[in-house]
Amino acid sequence: MRTRSIKYLYIVLLTGIFASCSNDYLDLDPTNKVPAEAVLSDPNGIRSYMANLYYELPIEDFVYFPRAGFNARGNTGSMSLSQYGLEAIHSEWPNWNQFNNQWWERGYKLNRDINLLEESVAKVEFSDAERAQLEGEIAFLRGYTYFALARRYGGVPLITENQEYTTDWESLRVPRNTEKQTWDFVLQQLDIAIEKLPEDRLSLDETKRRATKWAAAGLKVRAALHAASVAKYWDRAPLSGEAVSANLVGLPAAAASGYYQAVIETSESIMASGKFGLYRPEPGSPEEAAQNYQALFMDPNNALDEVLFMRGYGHAGGPLAHDYDGWNNPSQTGEGFPHTGRTNPVMELIDRYERYDNPGTEAPIVTTTDGQVHEGEFDPSLDYIRYASPEEIFQGKDARFFASIIHSGSLWKGTEIVIQGGVVRPDGSLLSAQGSVEHDGVTYYTYGGENANQYSGYDGTPNKTRTGFLMKKFLDEEARINTWLQSTTDFMDIRYAEVLLSYAEAVVESGQGNTAVATQALNDIRKRAGHTVDIPLTLENVLRERKVELAFENKEYWDLIRRREYHEIFNNYVKTALVPLLDLRGPEPAYIFVRKNVPGAQPNTFPERDYYRGIPGVNNNGLIQNPQH
């Protein structure tokens, strides 16, 4: 009995080993968080934190799609900003895309992250130089953030200190500042950045990819030009309502001059710095100019002189890569990526490209022998100009056309791109549906090839262009893209050409600044594009040059907004296409071209209220809503 009791005792003790009744049994450490002090006391910690802030920075690049937001990867449809204005249209969704372009919650989240950084930096020991650099970088990030907010929403609450969380909501509500205060704040932050940031960082790469004095200056030029234009052109589309009477949206015309002055002064400082220039400014021929211009966007790292600020993409297959090549390759050279040919340039852009033989004026594509621009469906009674090959019609156009756009007959990745919208039968009837025509023993297919992999346009499927053109700018001609996230082309957010154009615009719009320098700036850009004849500094010349030089760089959309041109153009407006047809009526087959509305495109109208986005969550944040939202 006794031994048995002892036995039981042992058993009880042994089982007790497995159990522990102490309360610290529940004290576990989190395995998914890093303590704050470990992050901000280490330069690499700050760098990692910065990396995330730059990731969140509202840079409108290859992964910005207004409908899907910033950093939109995956199956976004590739509805890019360029398809919203007069540059292009989407092959699958040729109609007015769901107009969204919101950046409120993430904007204020980034704002809080910046405030937190500022608060923490103040508590950590740094050398004066390091501190100034960090403060400058904070000002740059903050300026960028509020710039993106201001151009979407007008005046917004300026919150520059981290708010402590409380459920006393009222204490957290901050009213909107006026649009004027907001723009002034953006410029003031950028001034701080210009003052405190270094001109160069540890490496040339980092100099171009992180905030510097010159990146801040470049951004200031852009922001000031936007503010100046809104002030000057507000009256083209004046809004009314509570937000307007409280000056939360809208700028007084009188403010324009000051903002233009800021553009001019800041641009001049950049131009005078001697640090920047145009990439290969003096080409020997238009062909060379086209090659140079294409190379500039295929890899900006070869042209760092032109870069004020860029975003790097790396790690094919990894999270920072993008899909610009995949989405936009011509169908014929789609190497296995599931979608192709999405961005289709429209005639509104094509016509802007000058001809070298007639500089200083746009050169609309003429398709009939009468020299007039005819628009409409194929009409057998019209006398179309007949071309032996499809690319002839574009001869003599600006090098940037060939470097930015793929047209019928372009050579791309060693393949001749076939874009054809139909065959005119010998009897003058048009075959435009999938099928073929036998003529003189030869079979002619509607779209220029028997099989879908032999042509790139017009069969009505989303992988083929519906305007006659495809985008070339930014696409890497060397790349072979057969799956997602393979493009690592870096994006120049602010480049020297934009600064020159902004300067020219400010000078011509305000009458301030140096006209001679501005004229030269304009002509320097043209010279780089193979032009040899200088043109005078006129508003029309500057704006046309801007459209052409900065095409597809996501700038035109904002140009239409800030200059209040959107609603005037997009008033039941349908964009136009160029349809190459193979004409069998003559002794030899020839190419003719038809200008017509983009097939499937419906009339678009831009409501004036959309010059500002609606502010989300006004029932919580208590803010005055923008007009008509």
Q: Which of residues 351-380 bind another protein (CB under 8 A)?
A: none
The CB-of-182 to another protein minimum distance in angstroms stands at 13
CA 531, CA 353: separation in Å to the nearest integer?
12
Say whether 548 sits in a helix, a strand or coil.
helix
Q: Which of residues 504-543 bind another protein (CB under 8 A)?
A: none
What's phi and psi for 178, nearest 5 deg? Answer: -70, 165
Single out the residue of 227, 379, 180, 215 nearest to residue 311, CA to CA. 215
The CB-of-82 to another protein minimum distance in angstroms stands at 19
Complex with another protein: residue 116 or 295, whichever CB lies closer: 116
**Residue selected from 10, 41, 43, 48 as contacting another protein according to rule CB under 8 A:** 48
> What sign has the CA pseudo-torsion 141, 145, 147, 148?
positive
Complex with another protein: residue 26 or 272, whichever CB lies closer: 26
Q: Which of residues 459-478 bind another protein (CB under 8 A)?
A: 459-463, 466
434 binds another protein (CB under 8 A): yes
- The token duo for 199 is 């001109």
Q: Amino acid identity, residue 303?
A: A
**For another protein, what does the binding mask look like between residues 191 and 230, x meaning CB under 8 A?**
------------x-xx--xx--------------------
24: Cβ–Cβ under 8 A, 6 or more apart, which residues? none
233 binds another protein (CB under 8 A): no
620 binds another protein (CB under 8 A): yes
Q: Amino acid identity, residue 350?
A: I
Chain center to CA of 91: 18
CA 233, CA 219: separation in Å to the nearest integer?
21
CA 319, CA 80: separation in Å to the nearest integer?
19
CA 461, CA 91: separation in Å to the nearest integer?
8
Using the rule CB under 8 A, give the single segment among 179-187, 224-232, 331-339, 401-409 that binds another protein: 331-339
95 binds another protein (CB under 8 A): yes
320 binds another protein (CB under 8 A): yes
Using the rule CB under 8 A, give the single segment among 92-100, 366-374, 507-515, 580-588 that binds another protein: 92-100
Q: Amino acid identity, residue 454?
A: Q
The CB-of-244 to another protein minimum distance in angstroms stands at 21
**For another protein, what does the binding mask look like between residues 142 and 181, x meaning CB under 8 A?**
---------------x-x---x-x-x-x--xxx-------
Mark residue 349 as left, alpha or beta (left: phi above 0; alpha: psi -120 to 50; beta: remaining): alpha
432 binds another protein (CB under 8 A): yes
Complex with another protein: residue 490 or 556, whichever CB lies closer: 490
323 binds another protein (CB under 8 A): no
How many other C-beta atoms lie within 10 A of the C-beta of residue 543? 18
Complex with another protein: residue 16 or 586, whichever CB lies closer: 16
Helix H or strand E encompassing 232: helix 213-233
6: Cβ–Cβ under 8 A, 6 or more apart, which residues? none
In this structure, the dihedral spanned by the alpha carbons of residues 291, 293, 298 and 303, taken in order and rounded to 10 degrees, is 110
Q: Which of residues 490-509 bind another protein (CB under 8 A)?
A: 490
**Residue selected from 3, 15, 127, 532 as contacting another protein according to rule CB under 8 A:** 15
Using the rule CB under 8 A, give the single segment among 49-57, 502-510, 516-524, 547-555 that binds another protein: 49-57
622 binds another protein (CB under 8 A): yes
Say whether 310 sits in a helix, a strand or coil.
strand
617 binds another protein (CB under 8 A): yes
Complex with another protein: residue 127 or 203, whichever CB lies closer: 203
